[in-house]
């Protein structure tokens, strides 16, 4: 998440924002989230009522992108155990509580819960 955040802020290649000793799982997760960023960003923008994607804080966008990857593409990272969507949401909310402003956890929860409800209604 932090590597994606730095990539988003600085425009530096993802590989340059990852710690040298980053585990292969971490590298694969970050790359998968970046690869699926257009899809994630469309979902975020579509559910962020009254907010443009650019107005959402970069760290919150990164948290949302990773959570959406875990929710919608649990097989995107080889070796990752699938996380139930509710677990991915909880993890994202807890991360937002730790690293973002007071309003961020509710915002993150709202977007991710809306995506989950939409997918469940569509039978996905």
* Domains, the chain: 2-121 (1.10.940.10)
Phi, psi of 78 (to 5 degrees): -55, 135
pLDDT digits (tens, 9 = 90+) for 41-51: 999 999 998 89
Give the contacts of 41 (CB within 8 A, at least 6 positions apart): 53, 61, 65
Percent of the chain clearing pLDDT 70 (strictly above): 99
| Alpha carbon distance 121, 124 (integer Å) | 8
Q: What is the pLDDT of residue 71?
A: 94
124: pLDDT strictly greater than 70: no
Question: What number is the average pLDDT over the span 71-83?
Answer: 85
**What Cα–Cα distance (Å) separates residue 97 from each residue in 55, 71, 91, 93, 106?**
19, 19, 10, 6, 9
Confidence of residue 77 (pLDDT cuts 50, 70, 90): confident
């Amino acid at each position: 998440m932090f590597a994606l955040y730095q990539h988003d802020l600085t425009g530096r290649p993802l590989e340059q924002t990852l710690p040298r000793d980053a585990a292969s799982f971490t590298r694969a997760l970050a790359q998968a989230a970046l690869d699926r960023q257009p899809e994630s960003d469309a979902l975020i923008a579509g559910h962020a009522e009254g907010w443009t994607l650019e107005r959402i804080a970069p760290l919150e966008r990164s948290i949302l992108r990773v959570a959406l990857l875990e929710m919608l593409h649990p097989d995107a990272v080889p070796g990752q155990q699938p996380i139930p969507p509710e677990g991915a949401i909880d993890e994202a909310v807890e991360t937002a509580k730790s690293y973002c402003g007071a309003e961020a956890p509710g915002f993150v929860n709202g977007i991710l819960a809306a995506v989950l409800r939409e997918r469940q209604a569509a039978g996905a």
